[in-house]
Structure 1
Amino acid sequence: MSHRINYRKPVRYELMYGREAIRAIRDFPVGYLPIGCLERHGDHLPMGLDVIKAHKICCIVAKAIGGVVFPPHYYAGTHNMTCQQLAKYTGEWGNIYTDATAKDSLVDVINQLALAGIKVLVLYSGHYPQSQIDMIREIADDFKAHPTITVIPFCESLIMEGDHAGISETSLMLYLDKEMVNMEAIGEENYRDHGWSEGNAPEKATAARGERDVKEIIAYLKSEIEKALS
């Protein structure tokens, strides 16, 4: 099913003015919180890819369905790594993970969003190792006892085959903002570092695939939001 996207509709909370922001929440009390971390995605995608991607998709979903998109949270990504692994992936690659604080930080933010009037919150993680999926699901479970807000945990890998800077994420970014993709910088070294194969090679990425995947995300989240509001 195709969803009409109103590209002129203001959805970004941080860009709204005073009563405009409050009215937006009152009119349709659905929020989107894009989260993730700063992490190397080859040399052809930006360090903030996970959160940039999640934020851009949240804005499209909100323009199609309704709701308010809250500012992206770059310091809400976990990876459950050993000190030796962190020495490589943070010390050498520059990845920034916040395992010790991510969950508590998000719970604090979500409690504030509930107080502001949000009834349904899509917690969209553009970063999705198993530790991250477990965390957003745990947060959603914890909020089941909350009297006013429902949290919908989401990442792309829950409904489609995801990857790390391969065909899936590269296709999404070619659709969302092709200026952020440098296909000439993929390089053989990144195949070794990121474990790409023939099947998920980033060179096979297309904007058409990215658009198809975004439409699938819109349809899925529309269904989940409608169930939560019913």
Structure 2
Amino acid sequence: MTIRIDRLITAGTFSLDGGTWDVENNVWIVGDDSEAIVIDAAHDAAAIGTALGGRTLRAIVCTHAHNDHIDAAPALADATGAPVLLHPDDLPLWRQTHPDRAPDGELADGQVLTVGGTALTVLHTPGHAPGAVCLYAPALATVFSGDTLFQGGPGATGRSFSHFPTIVGSIRDRLLTLPPETVVRTGHGDPTTIGDEAPHLAEWIRRGH
């Protein structure tokens, strides 16, 4: 069966360090006609469940644990029986949103998740958050970047648990080494490509010093 990528946009709020902002998030659903994984269960478990269209949900993968990327994860897990997977370095952030419910499993650098016969490799890309990860699917010429890389630059690093030189290093060493035609499917906003973002690296490095 043919693998496909569906994008659902959900709306809610992002809260950290005493502030709250309205946001729209990309929820990525990767799978075939029978099974799928969800990347970042944001805001609306019911809408995500509807978008699955009856497919078996194999995993709920969290690119990081800011509340706007994980707030619907427990409800979606309860509704589907799918495990919530998170890199352990982001547990302090997770507990701010879900103090009484732990993730079901850990993500590790180099780990391979398979859905619909397609492999997605976990890339640990700290900086926006300590446990931030991206998922690289070479067969789909796609990397799901969470909030690590956007159209026009790195994710935000002005709040707790973030570090600008670290995110620049993650992008340089883990993402810009991917083929330039790789589509970057981001946590918010429109996709870009590795080739479009690579020329800006020197500028980002200067900003980091």
TM > 0.5: no
- Using the size of structure 2 for normalisation, the TM-score is 0.33
Max radius of gyration: which structure? 1
- Using the size of structure 1 for normalisation, the TM-score is 0.31
Structure with greater proportional helix content: 1
